[in-house]
């Protein structure tokens, strides 16, 4: 599909307005306004490939199937990487917009599907046997990190193409 080169005045104003509100300073490279559409295309294409990536990655597919599951997963993932304890009650307190019952159902379903596992936290010394720490499975960690690596690789390829 070819990009439109000559824009109408209204579209130019629209594009200029959008660009003025983008957080372009956060990018690891400088980009000129005339290359924004190329970046947008790259991100859209990457997003499409992410959806395709999910098809054979059951853990990522399950986590991304709802915003609730994604929020729960991200809390569990972050806690795992920090070596902190995380359990249903603590997750529920970090997501007050959802009921404890909803959080518990997501965690229990994730455990049943082997996306989450009950395993002590890496840095915790808690002796309370009632607390059941939850961590992402190895496969889920691998799927998630590889997905993020693909995103970074896509941006770095765009950066390289931008320079050339």
pLDDT of residue 126: 60
pLDDT of residue 124: 61
Asked if 76 contacts 24 with a C-beta cutoff of 8 angstroms, the reply is: no
Closest to 142 (Cα-Cα) out of 63, 65, 49, 82: 63
What SS3 class is residue 83? coil
Asked if 103 contacts 72 with a C-beta cutoff of 8 angstroms, the reply is: yes
Q: Which domains does the chain have, with CATH numbers?
A: 58-145 (1.10.10.10)
What SS3 class is residue 114? coil
pLDDT of residue 111: 96
Rounded Cα gap, residues 155 and 164, in angstroms: 14
Q: Which residue has the tokens 């609730």?
A: 68
* Token duo for residue 46: 């990457």
What are the mean pLDDT values of the chain's consecutive 10-residue runs (164 residues total)? 65 88 87 85 79 78 93 96 92 97 97 94 64 89 88 81 75
pLDDT of residue 110: 97
Rounded Cα gap, residues 118 and 95, in angstroms: 20
* Token duo for residue 10: 């209204």
pLDDT of residue 5: 60
């Amino acid at each position: 599909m070819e990009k439109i080169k000559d824009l109408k005045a209204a579209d130019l104003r629209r594009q200029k307005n959008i660009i003025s509100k983008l957080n372009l300073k956060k990018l690891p490279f400088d980009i000129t306004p005339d290359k924004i559409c190329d970046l947008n295309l790259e991100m859209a294409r990457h997003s499409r490939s992410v959806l395709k990536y999910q098809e054979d990655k059951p853990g990522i597919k399950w986590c991304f199937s709802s915003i609730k599951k994604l929020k729960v997963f991200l809390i569990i993932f972050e806690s795992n990487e920090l070596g902190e304890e995380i359990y249903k009650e603590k997750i529920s307190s970090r997501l007050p917009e959802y009921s404890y019952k909803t959080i518990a159902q997501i965690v229990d379903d994730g455990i049943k599907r082997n996306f989450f596992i009950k395993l002590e936290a890496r840095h915790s010394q808690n002796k309370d046997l009632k607390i059941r720490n939850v961590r992402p499975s190895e496969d889920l960690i691998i799927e998630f990190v590889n997905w993020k690596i693909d995103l970074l690789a896509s941006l770095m390829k765009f950066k390289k193409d931008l320079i050339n």
